[in-house]
Structure 1
Amino acid sequence: MSGKERSGPLAATADLFEGRPWVLTPTRETDTEVLNLALELVALCRAVPVVMDADAHDRAVALVSHTPQLISSMVAARLEDADDTAVRLCGQGIRDVTRIAASDPRMWVEILSANPGPVADVLAGVAADLDETVRALRSLQSSDESKRQDGAEGIEDVLRRGNAGRVRVPGKHGTAPAAYEVVAVLISDQPGELARIFADTGRAGVNIEDVRIEHATGQQAGLVQLMVEPTAAPLLSAALRERGWSIRQ
């Protein structure tokens, strides 16, 4: 379970599989020596072996890999003929959702052709949610207060279920997801600025759990979002201010 949205030899990297799940699906007929050889290969690539039933694997990857790829592509496809003014409003949310839409279509046709049924099943569930959400949104347009209330409840339901699903996504090192505090720092688009902010964070004795960069539209600057333990956030904010960084709420 690894890869990038770019393909070809120039996109190759020696650590592609490091720390990533590598699923093996032996059957009763699989020779033990063959399975051991496969496990050796996984170890040489520094991946994490996961043994699963083949059908369970197909359903799992349909849910967590193949369907997200298609949905990302579908959202990105809405942008193809969008007005330039609308596209210029793109923020980090749309960048996150559409990142994997840059993947090679030919490669994904091959992948999806090997697992069409389970992917179609997951998409059917997503389609049912979409139908309910569309109906809820239409209800919000109604002049009937009762229908508007039903629509609001429908929207809230899908958002809450999204919250519940999101917290099940494994966090750092595959552990349970943790709630981090975001320290947002304004940073100029200049060489060495990221290295400097990381170094200043290290001098403050704070570990960065995750990091995101949100680029400002039409400016040579952006926001670096440093995810840290909640107890460390005030310390880091104060330390970075002392070193001249501009902290954003």
Structure 2
Amino acid sequence: MAQQDSFLKLKGRIGDLTFYKTKNGHQVREKGGVSAQRIATDPKYQRTRENNADFRTASLAAKHLRDALRPLILFTYDPGMPNRLGSRMVRVVRADAEHVRGERQVLPANLAILRRFNFNAAATLANTLFATVRTAVDADEGIVRITVPAIKPATQLSKPREATHFQFVAGAAMLDFSEEGESTLALAQTEEHSLSQLTVDETMLELALPADAGLPIVTVFGVAFYKEDEGRSYGLNNGAYNPMSMVNITV
């Protein structure tokens, strides 16, 4: 590794040379590494090819899930969420014991690994709503019911300082991870409740999906906070305070 010894303090890449700064000064290194052709053909890199294939499977499945749940994800804001979800999906793929390495798939039986995944790491559901949310799934009828017990907002919601109102938001997605598969999403949300209410009555959200489809169903639940200004409600900080979590997986 070469070290720069001149008044020119370069950063970035010029041709095959990369210039960068470390605690030991400005340094430069030449582009190297194993070629893509060798990785694709050399028997020594068979394990690498297998790992890459499984990672691609997980990446595509994570993108499919994000696309299926996009209307719910838009209630939150977490730039690191795609990477976190991708890592969780890698665990799902690696849990496949039916296929050999490099050919592993997203099996419904392993989707339970996604349970309690929070789409907003800075505002998790467990640290925002201090009540037990119940989920009942009837796959034969295609009905998902989510029940939130009566709560006292003052003590059972960890609310942003500027928030004046909140609502519960839920969705149920029937997932098809096959190559040409299409997932189905059902959405429901409550009216906006004032955070100054002493008590909010028990709430039930019901979602309808295709009946007896034989596909896994993921249930997502969250809380959205708003600020009322001159009679109109506005979301706070692009959803940065809103939790959204996978609360149930039914296979």
TM range (shorter): under 0.3
Higher-helix-fraction structure: 1
TM-score normalized with structure 1 length: 0.21
TM-score normalized with structure 2 length: 0.21
Higher-strand-fraction structure: 2
